[in-house]
Structure 1
């Protein structure tokens, strides 16, 4: 469980991509632990999800640099400080490299690599001032391996690992830890939307995609549940994880054990 701050106030967390899947699960986990949470998402439906969990919702399109900085400014305005940042917002586009739209490439990189950089940069002075911070970057198994049809996604996730490791080296002296979490396929709307795309790309039916693409290299033949990921995020954001930084935590059902 995430510990209270040294000033006796609850820890404050920003969670991006909060309206479904992993982000929603992390918001619920943090709120159950007594944290104050700013739940950030471009989807206005995230308001109901955030309020139901006990979080504050902030609608923002994080492909806009000002929205990234605005998310942190809103957190400071509402709560006075920020202790935890979970960079989770993401999108997916499945297409062969030669057909991959340039606009989609820029959207993916802006949301999944540039936004985590800008958010990290914006929270940094506040965490450094408090001599405590936890940043968890939601990478993916595709931060370690590649798959056909995912050039934008894979490139962004590989880059996110580089950001994680560099920030970890710079943050250690200030008590800031930075880690990446690398799950395989999680049962989220993002993954469910991929099934039809992968079926089209590979000339398969959807059940074949699940068995022969998503779970082919997994020792444990199932999808990961969002609350399983949230539990590991909670640990990485805790006082007990103070010695863990610059790490890429595999949660891949045994995919990379081969």
Structure 2
């Protein structure tokens, strides 16, 4: 059903974004990957995905946290692949610190990368989706969209913001063939877990083992971090079978939510 469509996945040269991109590629979707990787590494990845799945793949290094970067990304894809049918906004930058110690520059950077980027890329791609009366926008938020944990002011705020923006875009597109939904995953990437553990250990001046026990995720993910679930769900949300789902926030969290 999706063969021949064109998808853009932001921050997709590694981790969960790459997993989503590859799952769409497996369904015959032509792909634009995006990231800050050096040109040689990006070209190797681009060729590998193209050869593996037999699709067209483009790469754009555009920084979507800036308006001009979002416009550049969509213009690049229009030029290289002809159109954009599917937009996956993949976010997730975070910094761990108490509210009264949270660096202002980290707040501004996280807001720009996690929330403002979603606004800019969606704004850039919507006109052509309205012209064709078809489009899929999926915002990868976080389990912190519906809930919150301590010491992550900017991350929690942006996750909540992405969920709210998703509902707003869904209302804006309700009379069209465009849908906008949010996926709220649990902790997906093990190396992120390690970074968070280290940050907590440094902040509280405790051992890594004790810091790991303080993580809000501890004991809440019986199946452990898994990258593949998002790709399957994203592919379903892009299909005609999900055409009636709009403005929905879907947890991919094992049993995190009450």
Q: How far is 1:203 from its partner?
A: 4.6
**TM-score, normalisation: structure 1:** 0.90
CA RMSD of aligned residues (A): 1.8
Mapped to 2, the partners of 1:49 and 1:167 lie a distance apart of 32
- Paired residue secondary structure (1:172): coil
- Aligned residue in 2 for 1:65: 67
- Aligned residue in 2 for 1:156: 158
Q: For 1:156-211, what per-residue CA distance to the aligned partner results, in whole angstroms no more than 9, with x for missing partners? A: 11101111000001112121100000011112543432221123234544344444
Mapped to 2, the partners of 1:32 and 1:140 lie a distance apart of 25
Mapped to 2, the partners of 1:200 and 1:46 lie a distance apart of 34
- Aligned residue in 2 for 1:215: 217
Where does structure 2 lack aligned partners over 5 or more consecutive residues? 51-56
> How many aligned positions are there?
250
Contact 2:6 2:86 in 1 (8 A): yes
- Aligned residue in 2 for 1:42: 36
72-81 or 45-54, larger mean C-alpha shift:
45-54
Where does structure 1 lack aligned partners over 5 or more consecutive residues? 5-9
- In structure 2, relative to structure 1, the CA distance for the partners of 1:188 and 1:85 (3 Å cut) is farther
Contact 2:66 2:120 in 1 (8 A): no
The question of 1:26 aligning with 2:20 is answered yes
Q: For 1:39-88, what per-residue CA distance to the aligned partner results, in whole angstroms no more than 9, with x for missing partners? A: 01123244433332123211122222201111011111112211100000
- In structure 2, relative to structure 1, the CA distance for the partners of 1:159 and 1:11 (3 Å cut) is same
Contact 1:84 1:134 in 2 (8 A): yes
- Aligned residue in 2 for 1:3: 2
Contact 1:18 1:89 in 2 (8 A): no
Contact 1:31 1:37 in 2 (8 A): yes
- Paired residue secondary structure (2:93): coil
Mapped to 2, the partners of 1:118 and 1:86 lie a distance apart of 13
Contact 2:2 2:28 in 1 (8 A): no
- In structure 2, relative to structure 1, the CA distance for the partners of 1:63 and 1:38 (3 Å cut) is same
- Aligned residue in 2 for 1:226: 227
Contact 1:22 1:188 in 2 (8 A): no
The match for 1:179 among 167, 170, 181 is 181
- In structure 2, relative to structure 1, the CA distance for the partners of 1:189 and 1:105 (3 Å cut) is same
- In structure 2, relative to structure 1, the CA distance for the partners of 1:47 and 1:106 (3 Å cut) is farther
The question of 1:243 aligning with 2:237 is answered no
Contact 1:188 1:226 in 2 (8 A): no
Mapped to 2, the partners of 1:193 and 1:50 lie a distance apart of 28
In the TM superposition, 1:74-93 aligns within 5 A as 74-93=76-95
- Paired residue secondary structure (1:137): strand
- Aligned residue in 2 for 1:7: none
- Paired residue secondary structure (1:182): strand
Q: How far is 1:245 from its partner?
A: 0.8
The match for 1:112 among 111, 114, 131 is 114
